[in-house]
Amino acid sequence: MSRLMSEEGIRIDGRRWDELRPVRIEVGVLKNADGSSYIEFGKNKIVVAVYGPKEVHPKHMALPDRSVLRCRYHMLPFSVEERKNPAPSRREIEISKITREALEPALILEDYPRTVIDVFIEVLQSDGGSRCAGITAASVALADAGVNMRDLVAACAAGKVGGRIVVDINDEEDKMGEADMPVAYLPNLKQVSLLQLDGKLTADEYRECLNLAINGCMQVYSMQREALMKKYFSTVNKGGGDEGGSVEE
Amino acid sequence: MIAKRYVLPGDLIVEGNPHLKPLANVMKVGDRLHSTRIGIVEISQNGVKVIPLSGIYIPRIGDLVIGKIIDYSALAWEVDINSCFLGHLPAQDVFGKEFSPSRDDLTKRFNIGDVIACRILNFDRTRDPLLTVADKDLGKISEGEMVKISPTKVPRLIGKRGSMIQMIEQLTRCRIVVGQNGVLVVTGANKDMREVAVKAIKMVEEGAHTANLTERVKEMLQGVQVGR
């Protein structure tokens, strides 16, 4: 396991145990969607589009007391090294489901009875931790769409690599490491809305891993905030005459 | 002036003040008030509310909306009111109490594709919004330029006691019908002035939360008039 973790505690991509990969989030990248976002999380590149709340078709799917949340996580054929069949795989169906379940507690679906909210997560390029990046971006896109939310959802993984608990597992660490634990977290309400674990951890390691993942979620949350603030409030209070008002003919 | 507070969904607004009630887009968790939308906080004596900066139109009783007829049955029209709910305009509202499905032809009054100004007569969670055209200034809109803006920006476009919209109307000599659902119709004799009015509306939409907006829109409109 020395390949994944050096003697000095440096990981395969040069990070320390508590370091996240570089994250960049952009809001409102798609004009035709009601809300959208783009995230780069390490080598992950993901676009999320939100449509709705809107009428439900087919109508029998509508719920009389709340909105229906539909999520689709999809990897584009060129998102991985060998072409991926674009049909939804077992893995994508699972991730679509857990994404929906991670987002549902954050949304006030009761405010929109008889409607549907569609969330499309398209992975353009994949690395480890794309489900977390997808959930993070989806929550930003939902806020951009103006859906009533109890909180944003930030997601980040932690795991065990080379015998150490580390945050934000990348692709190689996921494949060769000992454990991977994706966590989605509502930062203000302090609730966990997704917790999966692939691998083996002792009870102490489990606790440490969960705390580290939540810590990572809080860092991701601050980046979500920054992206939304930039989109909505960066032009605030600039005052008049700043758009070429002084140009004379 | 108190500094404006910008919030995101989940942000804590006030903690431990039992006198403040949660109003629009605010939720209560224990003794804490949190925002549920991206927006600007407004605290008054009645309570706390958040003015949202994004989102779709949710009908409210009494709202004036502009909609498009998309379908009709023997008894009613279905109207697209730019919301997640379809508007329902019963034929009796137009033809009166004596309406008879066998005698009266709905297409004689409104056809598919017609644009109408209407008011929300009734709406609750269980039923689609009920519309009416039985009031002055309501009914079919036969001409004008249709503009769509984000429904959350409509209050800013209208301004305090209609100041913004009145200014645009006066300076462009156009008439603007503002639907609360974010659909507007601009009418006026002069095509260029209609375009200027549309430009001003878009300017308000883009800068809805910025300071001195009225001044800047006024400058732009007066600049156009001087250039003429």
Domains and CATH numbers, chain B: 6-52 (2.40.50.100), 64-141 (2.40.50.140), 145-227 (3.30.1370.10)
Residue A176 lies in a domain: yes
Pairing of strands A164-167, B32-35: unpaired
* Percent of chain B surpassing pLDDT 70: 97
Q: Is A113's CB within 8 Å of B125's CB?
A: yes
Interface of A with B in 42-71 (CB under 8 A): 52-55, 64-65
> Is ipTM strictly over 0.95?
no
Residue A9 lies in a domain: no
Domain span at residue A186? Answer: 23-231
pLDDT for the residue numbered A4: 86
Low-confidence spans in chain A with pLDDT less than 70: 1-2, 235-249
User: pLDDT confidence of B159, banded at 50, 70, 90?
Assistant: confident
CA distance B89 to B106: 11
Q: Is B55's CB within 8 Å of A147's CB?
A: yes
pLDDT for the residue numbered A246: 24
Burial of A100-133, coded b for 16+ CB within 10 Å and e otherwise, reads bebbebbbbbebbbbbbbbbbbbbebbbbbbbbb
Residue A102 lies in a domain: yes
- Would you say how long chain B is, in residues? 228
Q: How many other C-beta atoms lie within 10 A of the C-beta of residue A34?
A: 22
For B86, what's the count of Cα atoms within 13 Å in the CB-facing half-sphere? 14
Q: Is A229's CB within 8 Å of B126's CB?
A: no
CA distance A158 to A183: 8
**Per residue in B129-141, pLDDT tens?**
999 999 888 999 9
Task: Report yes or no: A238 at the B interface, CB cutoff 8 Å.
Answer: yes
**pLDDT top residue among B69 and B16:** B69
Residue A212 lies in a domain: yes
Residues pairing with B124 in the sheet: B127
Residue A182 lies in a domain: yes
Residues in chain B closer than 8 A to A53 (CB atoms): 56, 84
* Percent of chain B surpassing pLDDT 90: 69
How many domains is chain A partitioned into structurally? 1
Query: Would you give the DSSP letter of residue A62?
Result: -
Q: B98 CA to chain A: closest CA distance, Å?
A: 33
CA distance B27 to B34: 5
Average pLDDT over residues B86-99: 93
Q: B179 CA to chain A: closest CA distance, Å?
A: 19
Q: How many other C-beta atoms lie within 10 A of the C-beta of residue B53?
A: 21
Residue A187 lies in a domain: yes
Residues in chain B closer than 8 A to A229 (CB atoms): 6, 8
A117 Cβ neighbours under 8 A, 6+ residues apart: A50, A51, A52, A53, A54, A67, A68, A69, A70, A107, A109, A142, A145, A147
**Per residue in B29-79, pLDDT tens?**
999 999 999 999 989 888 899 989 999 999 999 999 999 999 999 999 999
pLDDT for the residue numbered B88: 95
Q: How far is CA A35 from CA A62, A153, A205, in A?
A: 21, 15, 38
pLDDT for the residue numbered B141: 94
Most B CBs within 10 Å, among A232, A235, A246, A248, to test the B interface: A232
Q: Is B9's CB within 8 Å of A240's CB?
A: no
Task: Report yes or no: A244 at the B interface, CB cutoff 8 Å.
Answer: no
Residue A38 lies in a domain: yes
Closest CA to B7 of A86, A80, A233: A233
